[in-house]
C-alpha cells in the first residue's frame, strides 16, 4: 500500500505535537512542591510612598531633638582608708621588706570616671539628668551635639527620684519641648536618645510597654514608663520623646541580669521630672506635698470586704495627728479612689501625686466609706522634714514594710494584750527583703534592742539601719513574743 507524502508529513506533525504536549505536561508534573517564581515580587508605589513618609517623619523628629541631648562625663575621687595594722609600722618588718611594706597602711585616693546623658531644658543652660550620673562628682564636663564642651555645675539633686539639674554657662541653646507624660498611651511609638557606652547621639526606637511601674527598687518615688526602646549603660539621663519630638521621659535604667539591654527599660515621666526640676532650680531642693495618711494596697480580700468592683485605690490604715488628712475628715478604713480628679491606681500612685502637689494647694479627695462615695476637700501641706523617709521606702532590710500605730480599734481587732507596745505590720511587699519573715499583723516591739512605741519611733530607728545590716527584732505574734533576725546580706 502506497502512502502519500502529504499523509507522512501530517503524521509527523501530529507526532511532534503529541511529544511537545507530553513534554509540557511532564515538565509541570515534575515541578517541586512549593515552587515559586524566582522573579522578585513587585512593590507597589503606594507601599513605597507610605514607608518613605514614615522614614522621613522619624528622621525629622530625630533631627529636631538630637541637638538637645548632651554627653555628660563626671569624675569623682574615691578614698580608700588604710588597714592600720601595727605590723605595717613595725621596724622589724620594714628592715626586711623596705618602706614599701607600709603602702597598704596609708590612705589612698583614686579617680573614678563615669559617662551619662542629659537633656537641655532651657536656652540659658539648665540640663536635666539622673542623680546617679553626677552623684558625688568633683568635676562635670558637658559635651553638646555640636562638639562644644562646657564645665557643668550641680544646681540640685534629688536621690528620691534619681533626678538632678546641672547648669552650663551658655546662651541660645536648643532646649527641648517638654510634653505631657500623662497623655502617653501604652503602644505609642517613642524614641530614646543618649550616649550608650560613650557612643554619642545614639538613637533607638520602640513603644511604650507599660506605665506607672513602681517597686522597681531604683528610687523612693517611682512611676516609671516602661519601654522596649533599647536603653543601655550611658543612656541614663537621656531623652525619651514622642512622635511630636516632645520630652516625655528621662531614661533611667534597664532591667537586666547581664548588664546589657534585654527588652525592658525605664524612664521617669516628664511630668514628675518637671516638678522636681522646677523645685530644684527655684529652691535648691525638692519641696513635696503631704497628706498625712498611712496607706496600703487594696488586695482581693479587701476589695471583696468593702464590696469594690476593682482592686484599685489606697486603703487608709492610719491618719497622722494634726495632718491635712485629719483636718479634712479622712478616717481610718477609708479607701481613697480619686485624688484631684484623677483615679488612684494604688498607694504608690497616690504617693507620687501627693508629693507632686505644691503645698497650700486645695484638692478634692474621693473616698469610699461604708460602701458609699464621699468627697472631701484637703489643703495639702509641705512634707515635714522628720517624715522625709516614708514607710516602706527604706533602702535596707525594711524596704517594703508598712506599719501603723496600735490604736484602740486595732488592739481589739487583733486581740493584742494591753502590755504589748509597738507598731503593727500592715503590709509587706513582694520585693521586700523581709518577705516571708515578717507577716501582716505582726507587732514590732523592738529593733536592735530599742523600744518601739509608735510609727515615729519605727521611722527614726529603721532609717538608721544601713543596707546589708542584720537586724534583731522582738516580735509579738499569735499570743507570744519572740526574737527573730532579718539579714540584709
135 and 186 share a domain?
A: no
Residue 30 clears pLDDT 60, i.e. is over it: no
334 and 413 share a domain?
A: no
Check residue 24 and give left, alpha or beta (phi > 0: left; psi -120 to 50: alpha). Answer: alpha
For residue 255, what are the domain limits? 181-283
149 and 188 share a domain?
A: no
> Which one, of 396, 475, 399, 468, lies nearest residue 442 by Cα?
475
pLDDT at 396: 85
67: cell is 541637638
Residue 399 CA from chain centroid, whole number: 16
Instruction: Pick the last residue of a domain from 268, 283, 298.
Output: 283
Return the higher-pLDDT residue of 202 and 114. Answer: 202
279 and 232 share a domain?
A: yes
Q: What is the mean predicted confidence (pLDDT) over 432-447?
A: 90
Give residue-wise pLDDT tens across range 327-358: 999 998 899 999 999 999 988 899 899 998 99
395 and 466 share a domain?
A: yes
Give the Cα separation of 351 and 347 in Å (integer).
6
CA distances from 95 to 90, 100, 105, 127 (A): 9, 11, 16, 56
Q: Is residue 293 part of a domain?
A: yes
Model confidence band, residue 27 (pLDDT cutoffs 50, 70, 90): very low
Give the Cα separation of 200 and 194 in Å (integer).
7
Q: What is the mean predicted confidence (pLDDT) over 355-362?
A: 92
Instruction: Pick the last residue of a domain from 261, 283, 305.
Output: 283
Q: Is residue 309 part of a domain?
A: yes
Q: What is the CATH number of the domain that holds 162?
A: 2.40.10.10
Percent of the chain at pLDDT exceeding 70: 80
pLDDT at 28: 47
pLDDT at 258: 54
> Which one, of 276, 279, 273, lies nearest residue 246 by Cα?
273
Provide the number of structural domains found in the chain. 4
pLDDT at 407: 78
Give the Cα separation of 133 and 128 in Å (integer).
11
Q: What is the pTM of this model?
A: 0.66
123 and 216 share a domain?
A: no
Instruction: Pick the last residue of a domain from 227, 250, 283.
Output: 283
Residues in the chain: 489
Give residue-wise pLDDT tens across range 81-107: 554 455 555 565 555 555 555 555 555
Residue reference for cell 479622712: 330
Return the higher-pLDDT residue of 78 and 457. Answer: 457
CA distances from 17 to 11, 28, 29, 372 (A): 10, 17, 18, 92
Model confidence band, residue 54 (pLDDT cutoffs 50, 70, 90): confident
Q: Is residue 191 part of a domain?
A: yes
Q: Is residue 23 part of a domain?
A: no
Q: Is residue 176 part of a domain?
A: no
Give residue-wise pLDDT tens across range 137-154: 889 999 999 999 999 999
Q: Is 149 in a helix, a strand, or coil?
A: strand
pLDDT at 252: 87
443 and 409 share a domain?
A: yes
Q: What is the CATH number of the domain that holds 399?
A: 2.30.42.10
Q: Is residue 209 part of a domain?
A: yes
Q: What is the mean predicted confidence (pLDDT) over 187-203?
A: 84
Q: Is residue 296 part of a domain?
A: yes
Model confidence band, residue 459 (pLDDT cutoffs 50, 70, 90): confident
Catalytic (active-site) positions: 132, 162, 236
Q: Which residues of 294-310 are buried (b: 16+ CB within 10 A; e: fewer)?
A: bbbbbeeeebeebebee
Q: What is the mean predicted confidence (pLDDT) over 180-200?
A: 86
Give the Cα separation of 298 and 312 in Å (integer).
6
Amino acid at each position: 500500500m502506497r502512502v502519500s507524502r502529504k499523509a507522512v508529513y501530517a503524521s509527523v506533525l501530529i507526532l511532534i505535537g503529541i511529544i511537545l504536549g507530553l513534554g509540557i505536561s511532564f515538565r509541570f508534573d515534575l515541578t517541586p512542591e512549593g515552587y515559586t517564581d524566582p522573579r522578585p515580587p513587585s512593590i507597589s508605589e503606594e507601599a513605597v510612598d507610605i514607608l518613605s513618609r514614615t522614614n522621613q517623619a522619624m528622621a525629622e523628629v530625630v533631627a529636631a531633638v538630637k541637638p538637645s541631648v548632651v554627653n555628660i562625663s563626671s569624675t569623682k575621687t574615691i578614698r580608700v582608708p588604710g588597714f592600720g595594722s601595727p605590723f605595717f609600722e613595725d621596724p622589724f618588718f620594714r628592715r626586711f621588706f623596705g618602706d614599701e611594706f607600709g603602702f597598704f597602711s596609708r590612705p589612698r585616693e583614686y579617680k573614678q570616671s563615669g559617662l551619662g546623658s542629659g537633656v537641655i531644658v532651657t536656652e540659658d543652660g539648665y540640663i536635666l539628668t539622673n542623680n546617679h550620673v553626677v552623684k558625688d562628682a568633683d568635676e562635670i564636663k558637658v559635651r553638646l551635639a555640636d562638639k562644644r564642651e562646657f564645665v557643668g555645675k550641680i544646681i540640685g539633686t534629688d536621690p528620691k527620684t534619681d533626678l538632678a539639674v546641672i547648669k552650663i554657662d551658655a546662651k541660645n541653646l536648643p532646649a527641648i519641648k517638654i510634653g505631657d507624660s500623662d497623655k502617653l498611651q501604652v503602644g505609642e511609638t517613642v524614641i530614646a536618645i543618649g550616649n550608650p557606652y560613650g557612643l554619642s547621639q545614639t538613637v533607638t526606637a520602640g513603644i511604650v510597654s507599660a506605665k506607672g511601674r513602681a517597686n522597681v527598687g531604683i528610687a523612693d518615688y517611682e512611676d516609671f514608663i516602661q519601654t522596649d526602646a533599647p536603653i543601655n549603660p550611658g543612656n541614663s539621663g537621656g531623652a525619651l520623646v514622642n512622635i511630636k519630638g516632645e520630652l516625655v521621659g528621662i531614661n533611667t535604667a534597664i532591667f537586666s541580669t547581664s548588664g546589657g539591654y534585654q527588652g525592658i527599660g525605664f524612664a521617669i515621666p516628664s511630668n514628675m521630672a518637671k516638678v522636681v526640676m522646677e523645685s530644684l532650680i527655684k529652691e535648691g531642693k525638692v519641696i513635696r506635698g503631704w497628706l498625712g495618711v498611712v496607706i496600703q494596697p487594696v488586695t482581693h480580700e479587701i476589695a471583696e470586704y468593702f464590696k469594690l468592683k476593682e482592686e484599685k485605690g489606697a486603703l487608709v490604715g492610719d491618719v497622722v495627728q494634726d495632718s491635712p488628712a485629719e483636718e479634712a475628715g479622712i478616717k481610718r478604713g477609708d479607701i481613697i479612689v480619686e485624688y484631684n480628679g484623677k483615679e488612684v491606681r494604688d498607694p504608690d500612685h497616690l504617693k507620687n501625686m501627693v508629693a507632686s502637689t505644691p503645698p497650700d494647694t486645695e484638692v478634692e479627695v474621693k473616698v469610699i466609706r461604708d460602701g458609699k462615695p464621699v468627697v472631701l476637700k484637703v489643703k495639702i501641706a509641705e512634707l515635714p522634714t522628720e517624715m522625709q523617709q516614708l514607710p516602706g521606702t527604706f533602702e535596707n532590710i525594711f524596704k517594703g514594710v508598712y506599719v501603723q500605730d496600735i490604736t484602740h480599734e486595732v488592739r481589739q481587732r487583733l486581740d493584742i494584750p494591753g502590755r504589748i507596745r509597738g507598731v503593727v505590720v500592715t503590709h509587706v511587699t513582694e520585693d521586700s527583703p523581709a518577705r516571708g519573715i515578717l507577716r501582716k499583723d505582726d507587732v514590732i516591739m523592738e529593733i536592735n534592742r530599742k523600744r518601739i512605741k509608735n510609727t515615729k519611733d519605727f521611722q527614726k530607728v529603721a532609717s538608721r539601719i544601713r543596707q546589708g545590716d542584720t537586724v534583731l527584732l522582738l516580735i509579738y505574734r499569735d499570743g507570744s513574743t519572740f526574737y527573730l533576725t532579718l539579714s540584709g546580706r
